[in-house]
Amino acid sequence: MLLFYAGTAMLLVFSFFKDKKKSLLALSIAWKRFVRIAPDFVLVLVLMSLILAFLPNQVIAAILGTGSQWVSVIAAALIGSVTLMPGFVAFPLCGILLNQGVSYMVLSAFTTTLMMVGVLTFPVERAYFGTRATLLRNALSLGTALLVAAATGFFFGELG
């Protein structure tokens, strides 16, 4: 993280050293782009904090841990798609679920959709790439996540 700040600062200083006008232009582009998309970011943050508060970890655990494998995989993929959580929340949660006996296959469906399929990030993605591309990318990602889950189940011997 510190490296990221340091790297950005270094590049910026270097850029100013080389061409002051261009660097100011870069900063103005950065600012304009940021302001334009900021409302959508805030919207995503609001939705994310609401859904995580009303869908507590115990509920997620209850849904993923019961019933048949395949039902759980589908449920995991759905929850993963509609929720969004930062990695520092998601993986510790998955670690706990694993200890509670939730299978690797279900957790794979959960984490992969969590990362790749974004119902909540839809407003941001659409602002950049339009509705159609966004819908298609997310649908393909859901398919990918289900295949990855099946593969995980296979390699951990959970199928059957």
Partner 1 sequence: MRRGKMKLAAAVLFFLFLGASFITGFHPGLETGRNFRLFTLDMFKILPCAFILIGLFEVWVKKETVEKHLGEGSLIMGYVWAFLLAGTTVGGLYVAFPVAYSLYKKGAKLSVIFTYISAAAVFRVPMAVFEASFMGLKFTAIRLLVSLPLILFSSILLGRYLKKKNFRVEDGEMTLKKKKNQ
Query: Which residues in the 60-119 window bind partner 1 by CB under 8 A?
Result: 86-88, 91-92, 94-95, 98, 104, 107-108, 111-112, 115-116, 118
Helices (H), the chain: 2-18, 20-54, 57-65, 69-82, 87-99, 104-116, 122-155
Closest to partner 1 by CB, 25 or 71: 25
Site for partner 1 in 121-140 (CB under 8 A): 121, 124-130, 132-133, 136-137, 140
Alpha carbons 12 and 27: distance in angstroms, whole number: 9
- C-alpha dihedral (99, 121, 135, 148), degrees to nearest 10: -20
Closest to partner 1 by CB, 63 or 83: 83
Closest to partner 1 by CB, 37 or 78: 37
Closest to partner 1 by CB, 14 or 66: 14
CA 141, 147, 151, 154 torsion: positive or negative?
positive
Query: Which range of residues in 23-31, 63-71, 75-83 is near partner 1 by CB under 8 A?
Result: 23-31
